[in-house]
């Protein structure tokens, strides 16, 4: 039996009165990887911002259901606890807040939402150590402030590390490949692949086909001018690479 | 009061309604003052370096709510060269609270090779809070290193959203950012027990 994880119906959204999403429809089932590709300005990042509840965007019409619950009615932090995770295109530096303190607060909020006890300090640190190995992140990052002074590659690895800690049911990877060299890209992609289960799903937003060599999508959607204009399998990404987005419009 | 040649004088004031200090430093002496206000108060700290090679450190933090007000005045005078002074003054203002910083820094004509830094950073958590900053620098010597900076801002909205996206409640995210802002002042306290007590007190707001 197929379980709908996320259902997006005719979603319209705007920022500063300018409509960016103009009727997006998408169904994502458990266990699936969906790639969303498209030219700059098509609305790819807007879609991730709207799904996560960024306050700058206004949903003007449409519906989004996560496991049958009205996602758009939830506060951003509740969406996160319910299992929506965004790997930010530009992870934010938070001087003075240590990775350990940040991650423990986040994880315990999620556990409380699920009706679980908070992890003890020892259990928590053990989990940090285990998940960090997955991303080949050094231990010293624990005591550093969140993303502060991290290299571009470390920031992206740190996003996937947080994803490993929080075990979301829906991970949105927004241009995770941007600014990564090939080694970092391989580590990040392997991390994502190892976190895949039959119960979770991911949306991989990318401008280039390169990432999809490593994270193989079940579906590829082309977003152009605020709408999904074409859907295919992984071969669509190759076709886009070859012909460009222009070749698709007709 | 006078700090003798080569001596060290260090004082921490926590929640004192009124701090008034007038210090004269002899050569090679070191002075460190830390003032923490989680309640209304008036601070007036005057330090004059009278001998060569003095060190002066002044750190102040005020975190205010409701209609509380704190005024912090520092008057630092380098009357002789070869000394250093470092000031970090921070205010966190919520609700209708008011902060005022008057920072008077003077380097006289013959006080060459002086190094003086004055920094004032303020965080406004409410649109009704008000901060007034009046730095006043008088530098008459030419071979000195002196910097000053003052800024007043709000919480970083992108950091707040980032934390919310990880499941952290907005209120708690705000508090984590506020605590992060305050920590560098508290970390200057040498007395470990007191420092830990104050750091735990601000973290306690989060737990």
pLDDT 10s digits, B145-166: 999 999 999 999 999 999 999 9
By DSSP bridging, strand B30-37 and strand B8-14 are parallel
List CB contacts (< 8 A) between A109 and chain B: 167-169, 172
In the predicted model, what is the mean pLDDT of chain A?
92
Q: Give buried/exposed letters for A194-231 (b at 16+ CB in 10 A, else e).
A: ebeeeebbbbbbbbebebbebbebebbbbbbebbbebe
Are B180 and A97 in contact (CB < 8 Å)? yes
Residues 6+ apart with CB under 8 A from A226: A19, A20, A21, A22, A23, A24, A42, A43
pLDDT of A179 reads: 82
Residue B180: its chain A contacts at CB < 8 A?
94-97, 145
Contact A109 B168 (CB under 8 A): yes
pLDDT at position B204: 62
Task: Please report the number of interchain residue pairs, chain A to chain B, with beta-carbon separation below 8 angstroms.
Answer: 78
Residues of B with CB under 8 A from a CB of A: 156-159, 161-170, 172-173, 176-177, 179-181, 183-184, 206
Q: Residue B179: its chain A contacts at CB < 8 A?
A: 96-97
Could you tell me the two tokens for A227?
């709408």
Choose the closest CB to A106 out of B156, B166, B177: B166
A91/B162 touch (CB, cutoff 8 Å), yes or no: yes
Residue of A nearest to B170 (CA): A77
| Residue A184 confidence class, pLDDT cut points 50, 70, 90 | confident
- Is the pLDDT at A13 greater than 90? The verdict is yes
Distance from CA of B205 to the nearest CA of A (A): 13
Q: Name the token pair of B200.
A: 């735990």
Q: How confident is the model at residue A209 (pLDDT cuts 50, 70, 90)?
A: confident
Closest CA to A106 of A140, A94, A196, A198: A94
CA distance B34 to chain A (A): 20
When scoring A97, A98, A166 by the number of chain B Cβ atoms within 10 A, the one with the most, hence best to mutate, is A97
Could you tell me what percent of chain A has a pLDDT over 70?
Answer: 98
Which long-range contacts does B8-15 make (Cβ < 8 Å, 24+ apart)?
Answer: B8/B32, B10/B190, B12/B36, B12/B189, B12/B191, B12/B194, B13/B43, B14/B38, B14/B194, B14/B198, B15/B39, B15/B41
Identify all chain B residues contacting A91, using CB atoms and an 8 Å cutoff.
Answer: 162
Could you say which of A93, A113, A166 has the minimum Cβ distance to residue B166?
Answer: A166
Min Cα separation B184/chain A (Å): 8
Residue A208, pLDDT > 90, answer no
Report chain B residues whose CB lies below 8 A from the CB of A53: 164
Asked whether residue A121 carries a pLDDT value surpassing 80, the answer given is: yes
Distance from CA of A106 to the nearest CA of B (A): 5
Using CB atoms, pick whichever of B159, B167, B180 lies closest to residue A77: B167
Please give the structure tokens belonging to residue A82: 């319910």
Domains of chain A as residue ranges with CATH: 32-51+80-248 (3.40.50.300)
Tell me which residue in A52, A95, A106 faces B168 most closely, judged by beta carbons: A106
Contact at CB, A92 and B164, closer than 8 angstroms: no
What is the ipTM, given to two decimal places? 0.95
**HSE-up of residue A205 (Cα within 13 Å, Cβ side):** 24
Distance CA A159, CA A48 (A): 15
pLDDT band at A111 (very low <50, low <70, confident <90, very high): very high
Position A143 pLDDT exceeds 90: no
Shortest distance between the Cα of A237 and any Cα of chain B, in A, equals 29
Both tokens of A20, joined, read 């960016």
Among chain A residues, CA nearest to B156: A94
From B165, B172, B180, residue closest to A86, measured CB to CB: B165
pLDDT recorded at residue B205: 54
Q: Is the predicted pLDDT of residue B206 greater than 60, yes or no?
A: no
Tokens of B44: 């007036």
The pLDDT tens digits for B35-78 are: 999 999 999 999 999 999 999 999 999 999 999 999 999 999 99
Residue A194: strand pairing partners: none
pLDDT of residue B183: 93
Distance of alpha carbon A108 from its chain centroid, rounded? 20
Structure tokens that stand for A190 in this block: 């392997």
Interface contact A76-B164, CB threshold 8 A: yes
DSSP chain A: ---EEEEEEEEEEEETTEEEEEEEEEEEETT-EEEEE--TTSSHHHHHHHHHT-TTEEEEEEEEEETTEEGGGS-HHHHHHTTEEEE-SSPPPEEEEEHHHHHHHHHHHHHHHTTPPPPPHHHHHHHHHHHHHHTT--GGGGGSEETTT--HHHHHHHHHHHHHHH--SEEEEESTTTT--HHHHHHHHHHHHHT--TT-EEEEE-SSSGGGGTS--SEEEEEETTEEEEEE-HHHHHHHHHHTTGGG--
Distance from chain centroid for Cα A199: 16
Q: Hey, are the CB atoms on A166 and B165 less than 8 Å from each other?
A: no
**Sign of the C-alpha dihedral, residues B189, B195, B199, B202?**
negative
The reply to whether residue A88 touches residue B162, judged by beta carbons under 8 angstroms, is yes
- Which range (A129-143, A196-210, B183-197) has the least confidence? A129-143
């Amino acid at each position: 039996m197929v379980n709908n994880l996320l259902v997006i119906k005719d979603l319209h959204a705007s920022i500063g009165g300018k409509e960016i999403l103009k009727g997006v429809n998408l169904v994502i089932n458990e266990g699936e990887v969906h790639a969303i590709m498209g030219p700059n300005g098509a609305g790819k990042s807007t879609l991730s911002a709207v799904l996560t509840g960024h306050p700058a965007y206004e949903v003007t019409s449409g519906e989004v259901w996560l496991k049958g619950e009205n996602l758009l009615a939830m506060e951003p932090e509740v969406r996160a606890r319910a299992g929506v995770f965004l790997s930010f295109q530009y992870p934010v530096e938070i001087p003075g807040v240590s990775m350990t303190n940040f991650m423990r607060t986040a994880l315990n909020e999620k556990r409380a939402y699920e009706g679980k006890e908070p992890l003890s300090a020892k259990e928590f640190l053990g989990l940090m150590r285990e998940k960090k190995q997955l991303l080949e992140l050094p231990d010293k990052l624990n005591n550093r402030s969140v993303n502060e002074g991290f290299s571009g590659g470390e920031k992206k690895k740190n996003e996937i590390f947080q994803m490993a800690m929080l075990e979301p049911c829906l991970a949105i990877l927004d241009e995770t490949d941007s600014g990564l060299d090939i080694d970092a890209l391989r580590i990040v992609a392997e991390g994502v692949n190892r976190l895949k289960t039959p119960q979770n799903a991911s949306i991989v937003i990318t401008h280039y086909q390169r990432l999809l060599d490593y994270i193989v999508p079940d579906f590829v959607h082309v977003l152009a001018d605020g709408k999904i204009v074409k859907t295919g399998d992984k071969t669509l990404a190759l076709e886009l690479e070859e012909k460009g987005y222009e070749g698709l419009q007709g | 009061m006078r700090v003798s040649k080569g001596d060290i004088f260090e004082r921490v004031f926590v929640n004192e309604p009124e701090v008034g200090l007038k210090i004269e430093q002899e050569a090679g002496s070191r002075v460190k003052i830390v003032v923490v206000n989680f309640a209304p108060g008036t601070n007036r700290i005057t330090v004059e370096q009278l001998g060569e090679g003095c060190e002066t450190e002044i750190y102040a933090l005020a975190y205010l709510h409701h209609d509380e007000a704190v005024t912090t005045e520092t008057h630092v005078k380098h009357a002789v060269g070869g000394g250093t002074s470092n000031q970090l003054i921070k205010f966190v203002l919520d609700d209708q609270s008011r902060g005022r910083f008057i920072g008077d820094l003077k380097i006289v004509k013959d006080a060459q090779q002086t190094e003086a830094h004055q920094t004032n950073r303020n965080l406004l958590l409410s649109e009704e809070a008000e901060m007034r900053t009046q730095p006043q620098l008088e530098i008459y010597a030419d071979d000195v290193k002196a910097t000053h900076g003052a800024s007043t801002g709000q919480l970083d909205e992108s950091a707040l959203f980032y934390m919310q996206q990880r499941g952290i409640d907005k209120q708690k995210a705000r508090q984590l950012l506020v605590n992060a802002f305050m920590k560098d002042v508290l970390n200057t306290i040498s007395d470990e027990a007191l420092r830990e007590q104050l750091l735990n007190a601000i973290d306690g707001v989060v737990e």
